[in-house]
Amino acid sequence: MRTYPHPFIAREGWPFLSISLLVSIAATAMWGVWASPLWLVTLFILQFFRDPPRTIPDNPGAILAPADGRIVAVEKTQDTYGERAAIKISVFMNVFNVHSNRAPVSGHVDSVHYSQGRFLNANLDKASAENERNALLITAENGEIVTCVQIAGLIARRILCYAAQGDKLSRGQRFGFIRFGSRVDVYLPLTVRPRVAIGDKVFATETVLAEFT
């Protein structure tokens, strides 16, 4: 998997930010203060594509949050990618969250599954099965299977994943990005201990979702 020096502004946002900045500067030269709404758009793009570095917890058994956002599901369900019963923990990202996606565990990417789909509100339960999505099936270092699914939302129309089958991921490693509001589901073995509840606010890499037993 390709990596790059960690910028504070995600590389996915550079084209959007550059265009918005140039338009705002040109509009200000022509219209002065009336160009203020364009600067607000530029500020929104700047905050949306921010990608600050994160600190990885010391706990080796921790399963980390793959995204910033709010917990909208902690439940037992079927992991169709891993063909097993699992605990699903879902993180909903609104447009004000950091949208960089990071590996919840260290391990080997066994397979990548992309599915076309709808663009329902990612806060809805049926978004997991009906929306456009991209799933990574990961064998963690302890041999357990962890499935991490990027899901497009109502506004998000672009899932970016830089991990491929055969890649090795480290906890907290950046592996993808979803533009403009979305969701990430993590399917875990039934034996894990969840450390979050519905409504909790979480931060990618720094928040522990669950622990291996």
What share of residues in the chain are helix, strand, coil (percent, to 5)? 20, 40, 40
| 182 tagged catalytic | yes
CA distance 19 to 17: 6
The helix or strand, by DSSP H or E, that contains position 34, with its residue range, turns out to be: none
CA-to-CA separations, 82 to 57, 93, 172, in angstroms, rounded: 27, 24, 22
CA distance 25 to 9: 20
N residues, the chain: 213
166: left (phi over 0), alpha (psi -120 to 50) or beta: left
Catalytically active residues, by annotation: 182
